[in-house]
């Protein structure tokens, strides 16, 4: 039987961990990326797990207005969904290479790499040496980093939109 990654207990557990320790955010984000869920589904489940009722707003100003007018004890939570246009945000993430055996049946929204060939340690060490050399240059560019990763992971895909999440926020 497949495990359901969108169950309320999963999201409740995530919410509790986030409230206790903000450092868990990185772990949660990695989990969410790997879970291949849409951001709106993640938000819906998280809002519900935290005990709120979602109020979907047409735009950010409408959501802010709704939030400004609601009482502190309100059980509703305004959300806004929009198409992503920033670099690095994709509908789903895949972290495997051709030739690896992937089990897509174990979980409902997560594939598991079960068999893979290991790279020689010399190649792995050289990759880190290359990155350290690149980062030691004050003028390194994002394009150079992407190229270094592509050299080590040939099927690595990066879609550059010219707009990052910090700029959007």
- Between 45 and 90, the higher pLDDT residue: 45
pLDDT tens for 98-118 read 777 888 888 776 777 787 777
pLDDT tens for 27-69 read 444 454 444 467 788 888 889 999 999 999 999 899 999 999 9
> For residue 117, how many C-alpha atoms fall within 13 Å in the half-sphere facing its CB?
5
pLDDT tens for 143-153 read 899 899 889 88
Where do we find the tokens 């020689």?
120
CB atoms within 10 A of CB 127: 16
What is the predicted pLDDT for the residue at 54? Answer: 93
């Amino acid at each position: 039987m497949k495990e359901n990654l969108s169950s309320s207990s999963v999201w409740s557990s995530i919410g509790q961990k986030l409230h206790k320790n903000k450092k868990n955010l990185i772990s949660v984000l990695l989990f969410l990326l790997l879970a291949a869920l849409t951001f709106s589904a993640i938000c819906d489940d998280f809002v519900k797990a935290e005990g709120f009722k979602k109020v979907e707003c047409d735009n950010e100003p409408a959501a802010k207005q709704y939030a400004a007018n609601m009482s502190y004890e309100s059980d509703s939570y305004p959300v806004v969904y929009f198409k992503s246009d920033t670099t690095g945000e994709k509908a789903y993430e895949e972290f495997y290479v051709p030739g690896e055996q992937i089990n897509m049946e174990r979980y409902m929204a997560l594939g598991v790499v079960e068999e893979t060939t290991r790279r020689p340690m010399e190649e792995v060490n050289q990759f880190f040496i290359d990155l350290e050399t690149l980062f030691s240059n004050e003028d390194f560019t994002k394009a150079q980093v992407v190229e270094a990763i592509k050299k080590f992971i040939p099927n690595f895909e990066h879609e550059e939109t010219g707009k990052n999440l910090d700029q959007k926020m």
